[in-house]
Amino acid sequence: MEIFLLLLMVAAIGAYQLKSKTQARRIALLASHLGRYQVEKLMESLTEGYLRALGEKDPERQSQIWNMLASSEVQLCEQFERFSDDFSKVDEDEARVSRLPVFLPEADRFFPANTFDMRQVLAVHAQGITRVAKNAAGRSPRDKAYTLSAELFLMQHTCHWYCRSKTVASARMLSRHQTPYQQLLESVDPDTRQAYLAAIGR
């Protein structure tokens, strides 16, 4: 019994170390690509700007804020498209993401059928962000801001999922933005939702 417990403890320690090493490698890989662009800075600027515009009571002043934010939207689209293209060159083994709710070391290698390709999902996000920013659907400024925010938060969820797990990604989204994962799916552009679900295999 003591030997069994010892072996179990050794196995648990080994699994934890492998998990930490794998997650650290993925975080470093994603950061090495994201660090070349201003995606995170532009996201923060836009989300803060949207809140400022939505809270503005003066219609003229509100219109000015929307117009100023338009240039940041264009920059974000360009930056994220370049980031997505850049990440598309990552090896497939490094781009595979397990669909299991929790992180299990090497699950993406042992169960490849239960994975999705991060490169494809980032391309879906790039297309969705650009589509909403260009506003071909003719949304009002308020609805456009709401939908584009959902697009950005869903993309952020994907990045956390890639580095950690779906459960951790959803918990962080709920903690930081008070938004459940399912609500994000319901709030993005319908074309994004359809392409995203297909890309992650749902």
CB environment 40-72: b (16+ within 10 A), e (fewer): eebbeebbebbeebeeeeeeeebeebbeebeeb
Backbone dihedral region for residue 3 (phi beyond 0: left; psi -120 to 50: alpha; all else: beta): alpha
Residue 72 pLDDT class (50, 70, 90 cuts):
very high
Q: What pLDDT shows up at residue 170? A: 95
Percent residues over pLDDT 70 in the chain: 85
Could you read off the pLDDT of 153-176 as tens digits, one per residue? 999 999 999 999 999 999 999 999
Above 50 in pLDDT, residue 92?
Answer: yes
pLDDT of residue 106: 63
